[in-house]
A and B are shown apart, each in its own frame.
Chain A
Amino acid sequence: MGWAIALHGGAGDIPLSLPPERRLPREDALRHCLNIGVNALKSQQHALGIVELVVRELENHPNFNAGRGSVLTSSGTVEMEACIMDGNTKRCGAVSGLTTVVNPISLARLVMEKTPHIYLAFDGAEAFAREQGVDTVDSTHFITPENIERLKQAKEANRVQIDYTQPIQKEVKVETHAADGDSQIGTVGCVVVDNHGNLATATSTGGLVNKMVGRIGDTPVIGAGTYANRLCAVSATGKGEAIIRCTVARDVAALMEFKGLSLEEAAASVVENAPIGTVGLVAVSPSGEVTMPFNTTGMFRACATEDGYSEIGIWSSRQN
C-alpha cells in the first residue's frame, strides 16, 4: 500500500542518438513535474487534483506536445484535446478542438464537474471555457518556432498520415527526413493513487503533426487514451488510431477484472498485443503498484512510489 505516481511525455520512435540538448530539457521537465506530484501526495491531496496539477505543468512546458508546444494541424493551427477521469466514481470529462484555452486539462475537469455532459468539443467547448472564465490566450501563444518547422518538414516530406494500417509508400521512403525523430511525440499524461487509495488519470495532447483539421485522437476518448476505475488508472500515448481500436486503457482494467491479471501483467499484455511501435502507457493500482510498458523505441516517463522508489527514463532499461 501507499501512494504512487507515474507520468509520461509521449511514446514513439525516439532515436537513441537524441542529442543532449533535446533530451535534457525533457528529463528536467519530467523530474520537475514528478516532484510537484510527489509533494502534493505528501501533503495529502486527492488523486484527481494531483493528476490535474501535474498535467497543467506538463501542458505549460513547451517541449511537450500539449498546451504550449502543441503540434500543428495541416492548416498551421493548434487544436488541443484532453481528458480526466476519477477512478472511484468513474466520473470523467473530455475536451477536443481547443484553440485558446491555456490548460485544456482543467477545462476537461470543468466539463466533468459543471456540465451534465462528459465531452465538449470545438466552438462549444471554447464558449464553455469563456463562460467558466478559465485562462485563455491568443492561439499564437501555443505555437512554437520548433513546431512551425516540424509542420514545414512534415509537409515537404508529405508524411501526413501515420495510420499504420495504410502505409503510404512514398511517405515511408521519406520518413527519415523528419527533423529530429520525435516530432510525433509528446502527448502528456499522469496517473496517481493517493494515500487513501483513490485513483485518477489525466491525458493532454496537441495531436499529430500535420493532422487534418477536426481530427480527434485517442486522448479524449474514455477507454482508449484515458481510463480509471477502482482497479487501476491508465494514461496511454502513441498512434491514436491504433489505441482507439485496441481500447487500450480500458483493456488494461478489463484484463485485471475479467482475467484476474495483475496490473503489470495486464498492461504488458495490452501493449504486446497492440501493433509494434504504436503504444506506450503508464498505470497505477490501488495497492501502489506502477507500470510503464511501451512497444515503441522509447517513452518519456517518470514514476515514484511511497516506499522511495523513483525512476526517470526514455528508452527501455537496458538501453538507458
Chain B
Amino acid sequence: MGGWAIAVHGGAGVDPNLPTERQEEAKRLLTHCLNLGISALRSNLSAIDVVELVVRELETDPLFNSGRGSALTEKGTVEMEASIMDGPKRRCGAVSGITTVKNPISLARLVMEKSPHSYLAFAGAEEFARNQGVELVDNDYFITEDNVGMLKLAKEANSILFDYRIPIVGLETCSAGAAATESPLQMNGLPISVYTPETVGCVVVDKEGRCAAATSTGGLMNKMTGRIGDSPLIGAGTYACDLCGVSCTGEGEAIIRGTLAREVGAVMEYKGLGLQEAVDYVVKERLDEGKAGLIAVSNNGEVACGFNTNGMFRGIASEDGFMEVAIWE
C-alpha cells in the first residue's frame, strides 16, 4: 500500500508557439494548485475533498478554460460543465449548461450529495444552485478579453462547422488560417493557435487508498449553444472506482466514443493491467483518430499520465517526494 498521490491537468493539446511567459504562468498555477492539494492531503482531507478544492482553485484562476476564463459559445456566452466522482461508492455528480455559478465543480458535488439525481443541466441546474445558496456571479465575470478575441478568430476560421476528421478548406483566406498554415496542428477542428483546450481536472488517492476525480470546463471555443462534451459524462471525462481515479481532456467527442476514463478502470479491473500500463493502453488503443490526454491515480498510491496530443499542462506529486510540473513530453 502506497501513500497519497495527486495529479492535476490544465488541458491537452498545446500550441508549440505558446509564448514562454504564458508557459511559465501555466506552470506556476499548476505548481500552486499541486501544493494546495499536497497540503490538504497532509492534513488528512479525503480524496473527494481534495479534488474539489484543487479544481475550485483552477476554476477561479482565469488562465485555464474553466470557471473564469471559460471558452465562449457561438453566441459569446459561457456555458460551463463539471463532474466529480468518489471512488469508494462510485457516487457521482455532474452539471452542464452553467452560466452563473462561480464554481461549477462544487455544484456538481452538491448534485451528488443533496439531490436524488446524479446530473443536472441548464435552467434546472441553475435553479438548484440558487436553492443551495452557492456563490453566483454575472455571466460577464467568466468572460475574459482573451477569449473574446479567440472567439473572433475561431469564427473567422469558421472551423467549428467542420468535424475535426474532415480537412478544413478555405482556411488560408482568413487570419486564423494564416496562423494555421504556420502551425498545421489542429485540435477539434481548430488551428491549435486558436484552440482553447484547457479543461482542468484533478485526481487524488488519499492515505487510506480512496480515489476521486474531478473535471471542469468551459467546453469548446465557438461551440453550439447546448453542446455537452465529455467533462460532465461519467465514464468519459471523469471516473473513479475502488481501483483508480481518472480525469480526461482533449477532443471531447473522441473521449466520449472511447468512454476513456472508464476504460482505464475497466482494463485494470478486467485485464489486470497496472495503472501506467492501463493509461498507455487506453491512449494508444482507444482514441482512434482522436487526440486527448488523461491523468490517473491508483488505490496503491501510483500516479500516471498519458497523452497523444502536442503537450498537456500537468502536475504530478506523490507522498514519496516525487513532484513534476510539465507541458511537453
**CB distance A117 to B120 under 8 Å?**
no
Interface: B175 (CB within 8 A): no
Interface: A5 (CB within 8 A): no
Q: How many A-B residue pairs have CB under 8 A?
A: 168
**Contacts A212-B117, A221-B233, A245-B118 given; does A121 touch B228 at CB 8 Å:** yes
**Contacts A121-B97, A245-B234, A247-B234 given; does A217 touch B224 at CB 8 Å:** no
- Among A21-29, A49-57, A88-96, the one that faces the other chain is A88-96
Interface of B is mostly: mixed
- Among B44-52, B55-63, B143-151, B156-164, the one that faces the other chain is B156-164
Could you mark each residue 84-111 of chain B with 1 if its beta carbon is under 8 Å from any beta carbon of chain A, else 0? 0100011110101100000000000000
**CB distance B90 to A116 under 8 Å?**
no
Interface: A130 (CB within 8 A): no
**CB distance A124 to B92 under 8 Å?**
no
**CB distance A214 to B234 under 8 Å?**
no
**CB distance B235 to A116 under 8 Å?**
no
Specify the chain B residue showing the minimal Cβ separation from A255: B270
Q: Which of B94, B189, B224 contacts A120 (CB 8 A)?
A: B224
Interface size, chain B (Cβ < 8 Å): 54
* Interface residues in B244-267 (C-beta closer than 8 Å to A): 252-253, 256-259, 262-263, 266-267
B259 contacts across to A, CB distance below 8 A: 222-223, 227, 247, 250
**CB distance A116 to B164 under 8 Å?**
yes
**Contacts A116-B160, A215-B117, A221-B235 given; does A254 touch B270 at CB 8 Å:** yes
Question: Nearest Cβ distance between residue A128 and chain B, in whole angstroms?
Answer: 7
Question: Nearest Cβ distance between residue A238 and chain B, in whole angstroms?
Answer: 14
**CB distance B117 to A223 under 8 Å?**
no
Interface of A is mostly: mixed
A214 contacts across to B, CB distance below 8 A: 120-128
Interface: B236 (CB within 8 A): yes
Interface: B291 (CB within 8 A): no
A211 contacts across to B, CB distance below 8 A: 117
Could you mark each residue 146-184 of chain B with 1 if its beta carbon is under 8 Å from any beta carbon of chain A, else 0? 000000000000001111100000000000000000000
Interface: B226 (CB within 8 A): yes
* Interface residues in A235-260 (C-beta closer than 8 Å to B): 240-241, 244-247, 250-251, 254-255, 258-259
9 intermolecular pairs with C-beta atoms under 8 Å apart: A118-B252, A120-B228, A121-B227, A215-B120, A221-B235, A244-B234, A245-B85, A254-B266, A258-B267
